[in-house]
Structure 1
Amino acid sequence: MFYLFVAVLKYVIGITTNTGAGADPSCQWAKAGHPGQVASPSQGRGRDAAISTMASRAGPRATGTDGSDFQHREKVASHYQMSVALKSEIRKLNIVHVLIWVLMAAQVIVSQLSLVSYKVVAAPYQWEYPYLLSAIPTVFSFLALPRNNISYLVISMISGGLFCIAPLIYGSMEMFPVATQLYRHGKSYRFIFGFSAVTVMYLVIVIAVQVHAWQIYYSKKLLDQWFTSTQDKKKK
């Protein structure tokens, strides 16, 4: 009986050992990190996520570039931002000039058509008539901005000097004797709604000169930006 019990025990132990040795080799390889193992779908997704995370550490990258041209792209972006800012400033100045022009045109129309008494609105000075042509550079400026038209912007700058600045200089000289008389004797013979016409028009000249000076200045800077962008495109 004893020998029979030992024989049965050996047989049971042998079956258990063979079962453990016959386990799926792929599981053992997977535990050992065998290079020939086939990854499961979940393992593949985890690996892709890790690779994606490692690749994204460098930050977002523009399509079609390896990131080495970032200096050029930053330069183009700065040119674009400067151009947008200059256009915005020029538009604001153009709107202010339109308001001044409307007031001047209203005075001329009211005086010529005798819509009100000259004691209420005085007759315009001589310089105010050529100043009405200052609408020309503003129109060309508005036309030049949307499509970056260099020719229109140049015309706007040149005509601004002729039709805006020149009449204002002439007007300050024309009204100077009247302003001197008002300062010395306190007498004025022209009025605009009860105010001395020469005082009102000198105030208009001071504002208009600043508006047109900034218009020409910003237009020149914008023109330089456009020329720089054009040269960069030709180099490509």
Structure 2
Amino acid sequence: MTSRPGARATGSSGTRSDGNDFKPKEKVGPSHYQMSASFRSEIKTLTIVQLLIWVLVATQVAVTHLNLVSPDLVAAPYQWEYPYLLSLIPSLVGALALPRNNISYLVISMISSGLFSVAPLIFGAMEMFPVAQQLYRHGKAYRFIFGFSAVSVMYLVMVVAVQVHAWHLYYCKKLLDAWFDSTQEKKKK
């Protein structure tokens, strides 16, 4: 490939330029594309963490119901854990939305995440509160998971799950805004 005839860009010392003076021209498209890529990455990471939390809860439920270990070793699941098992649905729908920028799947994922993920966690916090209060006041626990108080372990899981789901909803909303901005730009053209 040949270059055009004429003077070449020179640096301050009269030598040829190394290209640093042309950096502003190397910008990559609108910023919402870059934001979309970073939000996708965050959502993928949070989806993996959500799946790990789901596997923990599903394992406790399965181990208890299949009688794989002694009930003294792993306590029976609380009632909120059963509807929380449906939290896999919003994660999978959200993952389906990412490859093709499917706005409707992302909206369905956000709504169902509130219904199947956050609502059971709120119910679980209320369900376990009397047991946690009894443990705090009297130091007595009646249910255990590998020697630890079941209510303490499950509250720890819930605290992590609430944070993960909240960040997931936040990044989904930001990604939705970025996708909406890009569709608006396409309509203007």
Normalising by structure 2, report the TM-score. 0.88
Supply the distance in 1 between the matched residues of 2:118 and 2:7 (Cα, whole angstroms): 62
Q: CA deviation at 1:207?
A: 0.4
- Secondary structure (helix, strand or coil) at the match of 1:147 reads coil
Give the aligned partner of residue 102 of structure 2.
Answer: 149
The structure 1 residue matched to 2:162, chosen from 200, 204, 209, is 209
Q: Does 1:136 align with 2:112?
A: no
Supply the distance in 1 between the matched residues of 2:104 and 2:76 (Cα, whole angstroms): 37
Q: CA deviation at 1:230?
A: 0.2
Give the aligned partner of residue 53 of structure 1.
Answer: 8
Q: CA deviation at 1:199?
A: 0.1
The structure 1 residue matched to 2:80, chosen from 116, 127, 133, is 127
Give the aligned partner of residue 116 of structure 1.
Answer: 69
Q: CA deviation at 1:146?
A: 1.1
Supply the distance in 2 between the matched residues of 1:213 and 1:99 (Cα, whole angstroms): 16
Supply the distance in 2 between the matched residues of 1:119 and 1:109 (Cα, whole angstroms): 15
> 1:14-43: per-residue Cα shift (whole Å, max 9, x none)?
xxxxxxxxxxxxxxxxxxxxxxxxxxxxxx
Supply the distance in 2 between the matched residues of 1:78 and 1:53 (Cα, whole angstroms): 31
The answer for unaligned runs of 5 or more in structure 2 is 10-15
Q: Does 1:232 align with 2:185?
A: yes
Which 4+ residue blocks in structure 1 deviate beyond 3 angstroms?
Answer: 56-60, 73-77
Q: How many residues align?
A: 178
Give the aligned partner of residue 184 of structure 1.
Answer: 137
Normalising by structure 1, report the TM-score. 0.71
Which has the larger share of helix? 1
Supply the distance in 2 between the matched residues of 1:189 and 1:114 (Cα, whole angstroms): 19
The structure 2 residue matched to 1:161, chosen from 114, 135, 155, is 114
- Secondary structure (helix, strand or coil) at the match of 1:146 reads coil
Q: Which has the higher contact order (CA 8 A, sep 6+)?
A: 2
Letter in 1 for 2:8: T
The answer for unaligned runs of 5 or more in structure 1 is 1-47, 61-69
> 1:140-172: per-residue Cα shift (whole Å, max 9, x none)?
111111111111100100000000000000000
Supply the distance in 2 between the matched residues of 1:52 and 1:213 (Cα, whole angstroms): 57
Give the aligned partner of residue 13 of structure 2.
Answer: none
Superposed, 1:53-92 pairs within 5 Å as 53=8, 76-92=29-45
Q: Which of the two has higher C-alpha Rg?
A: 1
Q: Report percent identity of matched pairs.
A: 68
